[in-house]
Structure 1
């Protein structure tokens, strides 16, 4: 049964090996290029004794490329689920070839379980190698940018992609078991995986561990450090606040000293405050920042410290593997009772 499953899977496996070989060659080249560029920047800045600006420019040079590669790797689980997982069972049910196996000594559950193990392990190896290579290639830039909790970066580094791939293949196989049609199963699997990959980082990941909450005074300097003021609902909010060595998951609206949310009229008045020619305001938001800073405001910031990174990787990987296991159990129940 294992040998038969491997033979049925050989075409997809060959395509995956070719794609992985091309990716390996490119990432090895990119990793060496990144390290050479870092050494070049360090050689220029070390005589002056301050390499902060040089390393920041080094990270900026590769930021967009690595973000694109992380997004590309983030699509790998959906592609594996669509092309490896969805046809795995649906194709046999659609063609009726499953009856040949079931009429032999192989049970339905063994048939399904062996197929899931062969393709699931193959997908985990492929995703793991791709993740390992990208993690190695990008490590000098990651050490400088320190954006490890970024939605796209987190899902393309270290062990998380392995669990994503396992879940995607099992999800695709179960969808194929339910639909019994290859093309609908492929489309539904792709859609389901993309929705989950969008929803999980925003709705689940921030709550995998209890966050830390702190208050931050919104002085003029603190407001000028933000990336934006206001929202589409015209609320009294600040965007893009950071905490050193932490992933900020939520920032409250601007609050007054007694804990109430700043009213929108006062907020709008500050946004439109004129600059005083006698004492001109500086910074990103100019007179608006000075006006808001004079109101003794603060915000509540919720964040996850960076030292929890590996625990988040383990928890999220465990969550996806648990979902894959539950789907496998459901598939084993379904194939025994509902498929004729």
Structure 2
């Protein structure tokens, strides 16, 4: 009589093994990923490729700077060849400026409009998933992917630009204000949520994309007009006269001049427009006498210093995130009552 032994490995049930440590998507999260997987994979691919390209270009630039005399770098006396490294930095920064447009038009506008137009929204909300859960998941997953992708790209761009800012006129901080730091992430989230709200209201994908493009363009115009007002304008002046040999004040390094130009400073501390006594410019003696009659003692300039950049970016990002939260609240409240 023999005893039969069983091998546990052979008697284990057939089928694929699963690793418990691997996260698995399910429910609304899986559905949203499935619906927008093309956009998500595109975001991932663009992020990876863009990061690798910027790392490579930054390495080339830093090798070039390392070969230069440190004294020439501090004095701004870099050779003309340095511009060949500046142009890609400026160009890629300009390309990243289109992220908010693409986020609103290509990701935000079709988000709900596509489901409402195809009837998917009615199918999903008729299942066991609540309408609120579907709305939150539908917004949260693309927003997280967008914030991660934008944050990585702008962080690498900021790291690339930071060691050379101010070394060229094309690298002044105001040219990179909206594409570095926290601003691009908040900007992209704002346009994304605006696009989602437009799509929910209009219920047609193509129409929503066109309307969103117009709204995002308007947002961009308003932003370009107001972001400098987030900072505190400072002034610098002289009191050595404006005649022969007198020179206007020199702005601090990397500062951007504000206003319409140089103002005349009077002995009482007031300022006059640069066009004061302009009609006497043809006669030096008459021009000087005109300025003296108005008690002009020097020049005055308004400027924004680079030291305010980060504060302005955080303030602008806070405003955009607050607007995004208001749009999200509108989408959820409207969607719960009038989605179908």
| TM-score, normalised via structure 1 length | 0.77
2:86 matches 1:75 = no
In terms of Rg, which structure is larger? 2
Q: 2:141 aligns with which of 101, 112, 118?
A: 118
1:195-249 CA-partner distances (Å, limit 9, x unpaired): 222321322x2332443345456846999779xxxxxxxxxxxxxx844454433
User: How far did residue 332 of structure 1 move?
Assistant: 1.0
Give, in whole Å, the separation in 2 of the partners of 1:14 and 1:267. Answer: 61
Q: 1:211 aligns with which of 229, 233, 236?
A: 233
* Aligned residue runs from structure 1 range 1-340, under 5 A: 1-42=28-69, 52-55=75-78, 57=80, 60-142=83-165, 144-145=167-168, 149-150=173-174, 152-203=175-226, 205-216=227-238, 219=242, 242-244=251-253, 246-251=255-260, 254-255=263-264, 257=266, 259=270, 261=272, 266-270=277-281, 296=296, 298=298, 300-340=300-340
User: How far did residue 98 of structure 1 move?
Assistant: 0.4
User: How far did residue 72 of structure 1 move?
Assistant: 0.7
Give, in whole Å, the separation in 2 of the partners of 1:76 and 1:87. Answer: 16
Contact 1:62 1:141 in 2 (8 A): no
Q: Gaps (5+ residues) in structure 1?
A: 227-240, 275-287
Give, in whole Å, the separation in 2 of the partners of 1:28 and 1:263. Answer: 46
Task: Output the aligned Cα RMSD.
Answer: 3.4
User: How far did residue 145 of structure 1 move?
Assistant: 4.3
* Equivalent residue pairs, number: 306
Q: In terms of mean alpha carbon deviation, does 260-269 or 71-80 score higher?
A: 260-269
User: How far did residue 5 of structure 1 move?
Assistant: 1.1
Q: Gaps (5+ residues) in structure 2?
A: 1-27
User: How far did residue 30 of structure 1 move?
Assistant: 0.5
SS in 2 for 1:144: coil
Contact 2:262 2:301 in 1 (8 A): no
Give, in whole Å, the separation in 1 of the partners of 2:290 and 2:247. Answer: 10
Contact 1:90 1:181 in 2 (8 A): yes
Contact 2:166 2:173 in 1 (8 A): no
Give, in whole Å, the separation in 2 of the partners of 1:13 and 1:74. Answer: 19
CA distance 1:134–1:50, shift in 2 (3 Å): closer
SS in 1 for 2:180: coil
User: How far did residue 268 of structure 1 move?
Assistant: 4.8
User: How far did residue 267 of structure 1 move?
Assistant: 1.6
SS in 1 for 2:304: strand
